[in-house]
Amino acid sequence: MPSTPAQRQRRAADEFETHTFAVAEDQSVVGTLLSMPIGPGETLSDVARHFGLGYEEIAQANPDIDPWVPAANAEVLIPQLFVLPRAARRGIVINLAAMRLFRFKSGENGTQVTTYPVGIGREGKSTPTGTMAIARKTKGPAWYPTKNILADHAKRGDPLPAMVPPGPDNPLGAYAMYLTRPSYLIHGTNKPFSVGLRASNGCIRMYPENIEPLFGAAALREPVQIVNQPYVYGWRGNVLYLQAYTPHEELNPGALRSAVEADLKAIQDAKHHPLDWERIGQVLREARGIPMPVSQGSPSFQVFLASAVPVAHPGVLFGRPALPADDGGGWRVFAADTASEITARRVTAVLNHQGPPIPAKAIEVGERYQVIAGPFPDAKAAKLAAHRIRADLELDPRVLAPDDQIAGHALPSAVPAEPFAEPAARTERAVPAASPSPVLPSALAEPLPASMPAEEPVGEPRPEVPAPSEEPARALPNPAAYPETLPAEPDSVRTFERAGPETEPESVPETPVESMPEATAESASQSESEPVPHDLPAAPNPYDATAWPESAEEE
């Protein structure tokens, strides 16, 4: 029987690298599987941010733990283990299925990869795949909502200003990198707990603490490959690992599964390396997002997950919302009333994790529980918080003046006539859905009020994302995942991302390299003629992919 974390000595969490790893050319798995007991009042989102993970990564790895109200001292699996996407190891690569960005840097000591979690386009507003480049970079960007967003907000009676200046209300955060595909950016966010969710209108969101170093390191003209690979595999030592995510709605799961099985069969035959096909089927079915060993003779899933290195709680989790001191005074907002303590705590956690946070707490009143937000310095701030709660969580909040409270409790007269509707109980399952939380943090996904304007790509109205049959597959095989002796790959292997006939991408004007902004010598020397290892097809020229407006954020 494998030992439990309690039976093993815990190591310090900072002993393990979170973002940057050395990777050999023939290897494709980096990182370490960890586990840690969660502290009082903490959420899975708090743990995820501290360890450089996104919401879905931590939630899918822990399907039996309520992400917003976990049991005290629950042992949380921290999946800091990643399979690199099948793409040329150059510049920035973003795998939409994994909601993760990888940046490759080659040097005298080999290749180094730095990886960060990201938030991507929500359903119906999918982030496009393709090969692009960084066109320009802006610190402290202003946000200019598109005409569509302005009209939409005006229709809802929630008008937006023509320009949102840099600051806490700006959904682009403190840094933005504009891509050569118009209207798409890699940027920070004022909703950090939306990272790891399909929450944007197509842009790539990053934690504030992650976008800053990436902004400083990435060069103008640096290539950016965006792929959508729900099934990725690669070697760690002599063991093959398979990592699976639930395919997005625009993909064909059946075609993807057939393709990956054919790919793995080719590797098995070429390398004379037997694989465990029962485990492969289990990984594809469960799609938990954790790299699993599938070589024959590898440890069972139970043993592998139990082998996660136990680490001690660091004491304070980075980025966990800090609530203001409550002196019993000030303006407040009555947010919800429920008979369930768990529901009240869950709603409280969601409010505390908005961006910016809405401070809230659950209060027991008789046999029911109330969620009270605040305190706020004045009526204006309280009304703004109530507006956000109503728009984002579809609750019926009420503003409470200082005289309408007794020792921080709402007076009975403030209780809404209709009690807060109880969300459905959380269903335990082996295969978690895309959003495991019973109270979907919609406030993290679609900010509505004027103070928290909904993110919309900047510039001209964003082109519609092509339907699955209209988007050509552009994924490049990962050299490390293919032995040199492999036979030629069938076309189905190279069209892993998207089923359907290939068509030409939309016509876009080309921008000569000479007219691009200045770049480093390293980035300027990269071109489509640069060979890709193992005789794989060369990537399209990222610099001529499309033009971008010189003042895109102003249009």
In sequence order, the 6+-apart residues with CB closer than 8 A to the CB of 95 are 85, 102, 227, 228, 229, 232
CA atoms of 243 and 230, how far apart (whole Å): 8
Token pair belonging to 356? 């910016």
Q: Say which residues have a Cβ less than 8 Å from residue 220's Cβ, sequence separation at least 6.
A: 134, 135, 136, 137, 516, 517, 518, 519, 520, 523
Token pair of 200, please? Answer: 């944007």
203 as an active site residue: the answer is yes
Q: What's the one-letter identity of residue 220?
A: L
Report which residue type is found at 72.
A
Which one of the listed residues 187, 248, 353, 387 is annotated catalytic? 187
User: Is there a cis peptide before residue 356, judged by omega within 30 degrees of 0?
Assistant: yes
Which 8-state DSSP code applies to residue 443? H
Question: Is 353 a known active-site residue?
Answer: no
Q: Bridge partners of 337?
A: 370
Place of tokens 């990269």: 526
CA dist 86 and 234 (Å) reads 9
Question: Which residue type does 165 have?
Answer: P
Catalytic residue among 203, 248, 353, 387: 203
Q: How many CB atoms lie within 10 A of CB 250?
A: 21
| 477 backbone dihedrals φ, ψ, rounded to 5° | -60, 150
Amino acid in position 40:
P
- N-to-C CA span, the chain: 62
What positions carry a catalytic annotation? 187, 203
